[in-house]
Amino acid sequence: MRSLPFADPGTPPLRGPVTLLLWLARKQARVLAGAMFFGVLGFTCSSFQPYLVGHIIDSATESGLSRTTWTWAAVMAGVGIVWIASNAIGHRWDITAWMHAAFRTSQLVTRTVARSGHNITKELPTGEVVSSVANDTMRIGEVFAVLGQTIGSVATYTIVVVLMLRQSLTLGLVIALGLPVVAAILALLVKPLQKHQKKQRDAQGRLTTLGADTVSGLRILRGIGGEKVFTGRYRDQSQRVRQAGVDVAGTQSVLDALQVLLPGLFIALVVYLGAAEALAGRISTGQLVAFYGYASFLSWPVHLLVQSVNVVTKAHVAAGKVVKVLQVVPATGATGSSAAMPPAHVPLVDETTGVTLEPGRVLALVSADPDESARVAVRMGRFDDEAETDTPVTLGGVRLADLDKQELRERVVVADATPALFSGRLAGELDVRDAADRAALLRAMHVADAHDVLESLPDGIEGEIPEKGRSLSGGQRQRVALARALVTDPEILVLVEPTSAVDAHTEARIAQRLTEWRRGRTTLIVTASPLVLDHVDEVLFLDDGTVAARGTHRELLDLPPDAPGGQEAARYRRVVGRSLAEDDDTELDQELDALLGANAQEGGTA
């Protein structure tokens, strides 16, 4: 068994579902070869059982428990041992093939979703993506789980027909021609079953999308009183999924019933014809028993073949859905590059605004419009090639759009203003590149002044964070996200409003520790907080789409209005002053809340 997931799941052809399935088969050719070998071996051993039983009966009838009878019995026992061993080992190979295909497909879908950015939601509903990971990958894996047994059953059918034709031409022809007819009749139901399964899969995807939208917007729905409407919509769609499931179950039940009925009738026919042959003296008693055993045994390969067709049908539908997900082109274009990666320690420049990050300096970006400065920061991370065509960013004179994305992500890290956290261990949440030790994680938490987060978790750095970090306050989530960005320790780090959700005292500590930690490494902090601006090497003031002024925070504050650049510095002071006033109001509100809380507690005690 190989360890999963794969280091590299590969790059599949996306011409259609069949090409995807064939590619998955080629990627695990050795595993499938093992599964097919043991499948053929197991079914071959099973197919010889009726033949050996017939010889034992004939031998015992003619000469009793003679040496010949015991020899045939010993051969049958040996074949049985091989049959048991091959089935046990073959099952292991079948499960391996199933897991390899399912997990490889799941990795491909997950990788596409991770790389595609917002394009995935532009192209496909959320429910389709979720269903692809949760259901479709498992359906695809089932094909490879039954492949070994399917090939084994086909090989066994050939062996049995040859054995029967050697003993009785009439019965051999009946079985050779009759079972394919039974299989063909059963296969007629596969097409309507496929249609109903596709309808059910589409309805399930829409239901998942509707459920995800409703849950994510539940707070808004409560505010506008729309819970009943959306609950009704979910109920209606759920009924459509139920009806689609009933349609699938109806067709499936008919197929399952015929899988029992038709082979049973066929076995009865074979027994009747065999009995007639035995009474006429054309076959022996042992051969009659063997023919009955053959007919009974071959009903299982027929059942397995029909089941395999059903599995392949479901996998074909699932593979088509997966191909649609894999065909989504990331917002940052396809993988690859057209230019060589520039050397380390070169400027990162936003050509439109003139914002230039000189190597080894800690800079701050201030703008009267916070959204404008945030857009500049996001562009420096190359998140959407199409949207950023008219606003190019260069690294060492080379456009980011021309560089390899993976190498670029290693060198430039952008942490936006939304602190998105994931469930799992806090250490795993922080170490997204799986390269930091415990000391590095604790240093990053110290710089982010997140010691209270460690204290709030029973196991500290190894504690569990729930989904979206909902057990943490807004300020705690922001500081954990800041620590996560610091742990990556990139050549260039861009932070968007990293301290907007914390109080002034905490912000002052973070500002001092952060700038000291990143001193000598290229860093850009998008903020208008004087507590942060006072610690950086230089401030860039963005006004009307361009860098209007630059200098230290103190220089811009002290620059007279009549000096060169004085007007721009005056506008900078107004922006920073407004931010300072907001901070003062926040502190005042916090002190007032604390005072009111204390008074209320004293009043209750009295």
Cβ atoms of 346 and 492 closer than 8 Å: no
Rounded Cα distance, 270 and 288, in Å: 10
Sign of the four-CA dihedral 221, 226, 230, 232: positive
Report in angstroms the alpha-carbon separations of 227 from 56, 218, 235, 465, 524: 74, 8, 12, 29, 43
Does residue 465 or residue 196 have the better pLDDT?
465
Dihedral of the CA atoms 192, 195, 200, 201 (nearest 10)? 140
Report in angstroms the alpha-carbon separations of 515 from 396, 549, 592: 24, 21, 31
Rounded Cα distance, 414 and 507, in Å: 20
- pLDDT, residue 52, reads 82
Q: What is the pLDDT of residues 497-510, one digit of tens each?
A: 999 989 999 999 99
pLDDT at residue 256 greater than cutoff 80: no
397: region left, alpha or beta (phi > 0 left; psi from -120 to 50 alpha): left
Tokens representing residue 148 in the block = 């070994």
pLDDT at residue 308 greater than cutoff 50: yes
Angle between helices 504-518 and 566-605 (to 10 degrees): 130
- pLDDT, residue 453, reads 92
Averaged pLDDT for residues 67-76: 88
Which of 56-60, 183-187, 599-603: highest mean pLDDT?
56-60
Count H helices and E strands in the chain, helices first.
21, 12
Rounded Cα distance, 54 and 285, in Å: 8
Rounded Cα distance, 526 and 539, in Å: 10
Of 36-45, 350-359, 522-531, minimum mean pLDDT range: 36-45
Buried b (16+ CB within 10 A) or exposed e, 473-491: eebbbbbbbbbbbbbbbbb
Of 187-196, 243-252, 274-283, 477-486, minimum mean pLDDT range: 187-196
- pLDDT, residue 128, reads 66
Cβ atoms of 495 and 482 closer than 8 Å: yes
Of 215-229, 282-296, 514-528, minimum mean pLDDT range: 215-229
Question: Which H or E run includes 468?
Answer: none
pLDDT at residue 601 greater than cutoff 50: no
Question: Which residues are CB-neighbours of 493 under 8 A, at least 6 positions away?
Answer: 413, 415, 485, 486, 518, 521, 522, 523, 524
Tokens representing residue 463 in the block = 């504690």
Q: Which amino acid is at 42?
A: G
pLDDT at residue 606 greater than cutoff 60: no
Separation of CA 260 from chain center: 39
Confidence tier at 581 by pLDDT (50, 70, 90): low
pLDDT at residue 199 greater than cutoff 70: yes
Does residue 149 or residue 114 have the better pLDDT?
149
Q: Which amino acid is at 238?
A: S
Cβ atoms of 554 and 524 closer than 8 Å: no
Question: Which residues are CB-neighbours of 156 under 8 A, at least 6 positions away?
Answer: 40, 43, 44, 46, 47, 301
pLDDT at residue 252 greater than cutoff 80: no
Does residue 572 or residue 185 have the better pLDDT?
572
pLDDT at residue 442 greater than cutoff 90: yes
Report in angstroms the alpha-carbon separations of 606 from 496, 593, 594: 48, 20, 18
Does residue 174 or residue 222 have the better pLDDT?
174
Cβ atoms of 384 and 117 closer than 8 Å: yes
Question: Which residues are CB-neighbours of 305 under 8 A, at least 6 positions away?
Answer: 150, 153, 154, 183
Rounded Cα distance, 553 and 558, in Å: 9
In the chain, the percentage of residues whose pLDDT exceeds 90 is 36
Q: Which residues, listed in sequence order, are joined to residue 393 by a DSSP beta bridge?
A: 350
Strands (E), 116-163: none
Mean pLDDT of the chain: 83
Strands 348-350 and 355-357, sheet pairing: antiparallel
- For 31, counting Cβ atoms within 10 Å of its Cβ (0-12 exposed, 13-18 middle, 19+ buried), the class is buried
User: Can you give the length of the chain in residues?
Assistant: 606
Gyration radius of the chain over CA positions: 35
- pLDDT, residue 206, reads 75
Does residue 102 or residue 166 have the better pLDDT?
102
Cβ atoms of 66 and 31 closer than 8 Å: no
Give the three-state DSSP class for 414: strand
ω before 330 within 30° of 0 (cis)? no
Rounded Cα distance, 473 and 450, in Å: 11
What are the phi and psi torsion angles at 416 (to 5°)?
A: -80, -175
pLDDT at residue 26 greater than cutoff 80: yes
Averaged pLDDT for residues 445-463: 92
In the chain, the percentage of residues whose pLDDT exceeds 70 is 87
End-to-end CA distance of the chain: 71
Averaged pLDDT for residues 391-420: 90
What are the phi and psi torsion angles at 415 (to 5°)?
A: -110, 110
Question: Which H or E run includes 322?
Answer: helix 285-326
Averaged pLDDT for residues 284-301: 74
Q: What is the pLDDT of residues 136-162, one digit of tens each?
A: 888 899 999 998 888 888 787 777 778
- pLDDT, residue 181, reads 77
pLDDT at residue 23 greater than cutoff 90: yes
pLDDT at residue 595 greater than cutoff 90: no
Rounded Cα distance, 141 and 586, in Å: 56
- pLDDT, residue 333, reads 61
Rounded Cα distance, 544 and 372, in Å: 9
Question: Which H or E run includes 309?
Answer: helix 285-326
Cβ atoms of 293 and 167 closer than 8 Å: no
Confidence tier at 2 by pLDDT (50, 70, 90): low
Cβ atoms of 526 and 374 closer than 8 Å: yes
Around 68, how many Cα atoms within 13 Å sit in the side-chain half-sphere?
A: 11
pLDDT at residue 589 greater than cutoff 60: no
Q: Which among 284, 258, 59, 62 is positioned nearest to 171, based on CA atoms?
A: 284
DSSP 258-281: HHHHHHHHHHHHHHHHHHHHHHTT
- pLDDT, residue 290, reads 76
Q: What is the pLDDT of residues 321-374, one digit of tens each?
A: 889 888 887 766 655 567 899 999 999 999 999 999 999 999 999 998 989 999
